[in-house]
Chain A
Amino acid sequence: MSERTIIPFGPQHPVLPEPIHLDLVVEDEKVIEAIPSIGFIHRGLERLVEKKDYVDYVYVAERICGICSFIHGLTYCMAIEELMKVQVPDRAQYLRLIWSELSRIHSHLLWLGLTADSFGFESMFMQSWRLREYILDIIEETTGGRVIFGSAKIGGVRRDIPLAKMDEIMKKMRVYRKDVAALCEQFMKDQTVKHRMRGVGLLSREDAISLGAVGPMLRGSGVAQDIRMTGYSGYDRIGFTPITETAGDCYARCMVRVREMDASFQMIERCVEQMTDGPIEVKVTGNPNGEFFMRSEQPRGEAIYYAKANGTKFLSRLRVRTPTFANIPPLLTALAGCQLADVPVIVLTIDPCISCAER
């Protein structure tokens, strides 16, 4: 038997924009086991509910993660709205949906770039981040922020998108959709990409379910589960079907995300068609009371917000479970038995967002 070595991976590592530490136990080039240690970005922001009132906390919730910022803020708002029995106007729901899907597109483009970069496909990295900038432009035009939107609020949204602007955006979006599709096709058809990803980092359907994988990691293993199926925030009205692949390897997970991007473009289009004029917010008075679980689908998977209120301005407890945290056990299973050189690729196909996971 050859000797075992432990190779530290992170917390500061060129392929990782964020710190996570893995101790890789290797035998020659083969990874036997991966032992994670986390906590580098833990801030403890769930306890901030004791210091910031429930209206202000939207801003903190948005800053749990800078990539799915809008959906974090939105899920928090929805939880509080359920507690306070607030009915959000239709137009606000559609606007929320549009911004959610725009975040999904920009997040997936970001992921595509980082994944390509993890095995040295630099030009793909550049190209997908170039396209991402256009999506960010639309976000900036409509919300005022590139990363943190600040447009979700309890009872609705903060800004409206005027009709003329919407047409202009849709015209641009149609072009971007073609560009993104062309880029993805290039990536997915590439022989080298297939070679690096097919059959690598396998996660079986049974494992995915028993280890509690979420998001594209779960759907890449053939399980059709997506929280958008529950129809929150208008998803029920635009007809949503989850996207699945069955192979359970890195390639399948990429395929899920690539197809999701196209679906997001479609959903935005349908949304704009269905939208009617109307108010974008309702006035919210009083304080929340009771407890509620709210779930939403982020680019990386399912996020759960648990809020417990006691009738005062300050919530008594908030608990967030984010998708990356749920995806760490499946990741460790997928890593066991892989080649050392494949570690970055496999880590990136779960689309890790460490600041979500540690909050």
Chain B
Amino acid sequence: MGMLSRSPWVIHYDGSSCNGCDIEVLAALMPRFDVERFGVVNTGNPKHADIFLLTGSINEQNKPVVLNIYNQMPEPKVVLAVGICATSGGIFRECYNVLGGADKVLPVDVYVPGCSVRPEAIIDAVVKGVGILEEKRAALRNNLKSAVSQA
């Protein structure tokens, strides 16, 4: 599996963003930035994904959807909160229907600020995410080993 470790598959979900960050996420896939050349693939299926890219903040209606996607992803997994909305609620923080950033419901690994985020920042975050993914994978492996040796 070593050769796949640098090619994370990403799933993107729009919480309650204004769209600005979503189109920048898509723009990162386009010829100018083209993250696919590094092997980063945007998938629509949470069961194939390593990295969860969440834009926009959390509200009551999308909370179950976000959790549902997160729970379907196989371990190890990494969550990126993209845009200031996803990190803290941003400009909409005082709105009555906004609970706050992504960390209200998910364990966030990387916070990506910016309103809207620039595609370069998203790529940077994915690279960071790959590093964290690696650590988590190693930890998982160690746990498994120690469990086996105890048995």
Interface: B44 (CB within 8 A): yes
A315 at the interface (CB under 8 A from B): no
CB within 8 Å: A-B pair count: 118
Check A43 against B22 for contact (C-beta < 8 Å).
no
* Nearest opposing residue in chain A for B65, CB measure: A11
B61 within 8 A of A: yes
When the two chains form the complex, which single residue of A11, A47, A60, A67 contacts B19, counting CB atoms closer than 8 Å?
A67
> Which of B14, B56, B116: most chain A CB closer than 10 A?
B14
* Per-residue interface assignment for chain B, residues 126 to 139, with 1 indicating a CB less than 8 Å from any chain A CB and 0 otherwise: 00000000000000
Name the B residues within 8 Å of A60 (CB-CB).
91-92
CA of A133 to CA of B12, assembled, Å = 21
Q: Which chain A residues lie closer than 8 Å to B30 at the CB level?
A: 126, 129-130, 132-133
Interface 1/0s, chain A 28-43, versus B by CB < 8 A? 0000000000011111
Question: A63–B83 Cα gap in the complex (Å)?
Answer: 12
B23 at the interface (CB under 8 A from A): yes
B27 contacts partner chain A, Cβ-Cβ < 8 Å = yes
Interface membership of B62, Cβ < 8 A: yes
Asked if B7 lies at the interface with its beta carbon under 8 angstroms from chain A, I say no
Are B18's CB and A18's CB within 8 A?
Answer: no
Q: Across the interface, which residues of B come within 8 angstroms of A64, CB to CB?
A: 18
Q: Please, which residues of chain A bring their CB within 8 A of the CB of B17? A: 41, 66, 355
Binds A, one of B73-81, B93-101, B140-148: B93-101
Nearest CB to that of A37 among chain B residues?
B61
- Residue in A44, A110, A358 whose Cβ sees the most chain B Cβ within 10 Å: A44
Q: How many residues of B contact A (CB 8 A)?
A: 38
| Distance between Cα atoms of A133 and B30 in the complex (Å) | 9
* CB nearest to A69 among chain B residues: B20
Determine if B21 is an interface residue (Cβ-Cβ < 8 Å). Answer: yes
Q: Is the CB of A12 within 8 A of B95?
A: no
Tell me how far the C-beta of A13 lies from the nearest C-beta in chain B, rounded to whole angstroms: 7
A47-B18 in contact (CB<8A): no
A67 touches B23 (CB 8 A): yes
On whether the beta carbons of B96 and A14 are closer than 8 Å, the reply is no
Interface residue? B31 (CB, 8 A): yes
Within the assembled complex, what's the spacing in Å between the Cα atoms of A13 and B18?
18
Closest chain-A Cβ to B7's Cβ sits at a distance in Å of: 19
Which residues on the B side are within 8 Å of A12 (C-beta)?
13, 44, 46, 65, 69
In the complex with contacts A12-B65, A40-B61, A59-B91, A17-B44 CB distance below 8 A: no
Residue B115 at the A interface, CB < 8 A? yes
- A124 at the B interface (CB under 8 A): no
Partner of A130, one of B12, B21, B32, B97: B32
Is A259 positioned at the interface, with any CB of B under 8 Å from its CB? no
Contacts of A146 in B (CB 8 A): 24, 116, 118
Tell me how far the C-beta of A23 lies from the nearest C-beta in chain B, rounded to whole angstroms: 15
- When chains A and B are docked, how far (Å) is the Cα of A43 from the Cα of B85? 11
16 CB < 8 A contacts A-B: A12-B44, A17-B14, A40-B61, A40-B62, A41-B15, A41-B17, A43-B57, A48-B92, A67-B23, A110-B23, A129-B26, A133-B30, A146-B118, A354-B19, A355-B14, A358-B16
